[in-house]
Amino acid sequence: MIWLALALALGPAHAAEPGTTAQAAATATASSPWSGLGLTRLDGTPLSVDQLKGKAVLFVNVASRCGYTRQYAGLQALWEARRDDGLVIVGVPCNQFGGQEPGSPEEIASFCRMEYGVDFPLLAKQDVNGGDRSALYSWLVGSSAGGDKDIGWNFEKFVVSRKGEVVARFGSRTAPDDADLAKAIATALGG
């Protein structure tokens, strides 16, 4: 049902354009909410949908040279604390805000690992706004929780339930240990 709402929100012009990110986001089905999103890891390999099926997922657009970059530490701590409960954190590097993620995939991976010990999945760098917005962010932003509002800055957060429904969105200032974020994650996990 959420996919139908997304297709309607995007309108027929997007749905009719084969190969568009909007079409890819809209063609994902309720039985497999991750199909059509083309999730690619920072190293260029596909992110297996098996890593996301039946899990709650926190998507965060990240950057290495941002005032919020220190949130990597909190995200890693959250990942360590909740991954056994079924939470997956996925970082999505983006260079659209002040050019704060200019590095190569290797530089981004090295920075995250060396500075913050990050071992949660990182996707390939992508656009989260504009005409080249990725299928993932078309889906997230186009959801009812996303409100069709552009991403305002780095480190915005989207919570996706185990059923593959986008259930909450949080701004950049929301820290990984924020009580409201913790509550949304707990709800997405089903507890």
Q: What are phi and psi of 34, to 5 degrees?
A: -90, -10
SS3 at position 138: helix
DSSP 46: B
Residue 186, Cβ density class (10 Å: 0-12 exposed, 13-18 middle, ≥19 buried): middle
Within 10 Å of residue 72's Cβ, how many Cβ atoms?
Answer: 24
Check: CB of residue 90 under 8 Å from CB of residue 59: yes
The encoded tokens of residue 60 equal 């965060």
C-alpha 191: how far from its chain's center?
22
Catalytic residues: 66
